[in-house]
Amino acid sequence: MKTEDDNADDTVLFHVEGRTAVVTLNRPRALNALTHPMVLRIDEALGAWEGDPAVHQVLIRGAGERGLCAGGDIRAIHDDAKAGTTASAEFWRDEYRLNARIARYPKPYVALMDGIVMGGGVGVSAHGGVSAHGGVRVVTERSRVAMPETGIGFVPDVGGTWLLGRAPGRLGTHLALTGAAVGAADALLCGLADHFVPAGRLPELTAALAGAPAHEVLPRYAATPPPGELAARRPWIDHCYAAGTVEEIVERLLADGDPAAKEAAETILAKSPTALKVTLAALRRATALGSLEEVLVQEFRVSCNALASPDLVEGIRAQVVDKDRDPRWSPPALADVTDADVEGHFAPLAGGDLSFG
């Protein structure tokens, strides 16, 4: 999972401002995409700050103005899947452990979810609000939050099925299957964020956090976001995505009559049929599990088993490597994906399940 700048020490930066420890993801040209070394360094820093009485809270942000983090380094995953090595599994093992650490972190964890926040970027930010210790997730008018994995033949991970499975109604299923990116208001509605702050005020907010706890500072900067889209679409979203299978969901969407529902159906039909069916199963199983850690164990199985799926390599090829945007899924249709195909993604791993220290 190595990339050109992994040998540099500045792909993730750490410093302390007053009482706040700051993590800056620092690969702006790559939309701050996470590499394995970055994950390990963040985890190490969080472990050190956990026992440091001078650090009262942690802030995570992205360098540049384009986004907090666009996700993991999927080119490296593509190369790993083609080569049949285990580097991706090792990366996911440490990344998912970091997600769990963030969710249970004993100090307030503040995430500035400005700009693009997708995949692994959701994993290092949205779990901070789950904490009972005052975590805060901030979105801006530039925020675009998504779990777009079905478009590359993959399944929402980094605790994404846990988060989306707990969104109101069937909103999480809609976002998981379509991979749609949402703005600030809809991220708040879906429970992926806590406060809206105008992007221009983030420097002031960051400076204020150096001297006071997040819960005292945020009320001075929080505002009402621009209107979202999902609240008005709840009736057809909740009805259509309650269907038992992906095929039935698509049928309901096409029959609904709302142009946005038809657009959602067309979006879904362009995704990997296998990934769609596994995603729906993973979401519904996640809602029945009792903890984020249990869901991460399930996601680790699904992710590792997906490495053997032709759709992961093909999806990344089409979207990122060749950029022809014309993936050839195998099998090509929802009807061709069997229950056994889906169940195989949840099978125990020969190398052992994910565990937590």
Hey, which residues are catalytic here? Answer: 72, 120, 149, 157
What strands, in cross-sheet order, belong to the sheet with 57-62? 12-17, 20-25, 57-62, 109-113, 136-139, 195-196
Distance, CA of 307 to CA of 318 (rounded, Å): 16
Task: Work out the burial of residue 259: count CB atoms within 10 Å of its CB; fewer than 13 is exposed, 13-18 middle, 19 or more buried.
Answer: exposed
| Whether the Cβ atoms of residue 127 and residue 99 lie closer than 8 Å to each other | yes
CA 184, distance to chain mean position in Å, is 15
Rounded CA gap, 296 and 157, in Å?
8
Query: What are 108's two structure tokens?
Result: 């307030």
Instruction: Give how far Cα 296 sits from Cα of 209, 303, 307, Å.
Output: 31, 10, 17
Residue 270 to residue 51: CA distance in whole angstroms = 48
| Residue pointed to by tokens 């994910």 | 354
Tokens of 314: 């093909």
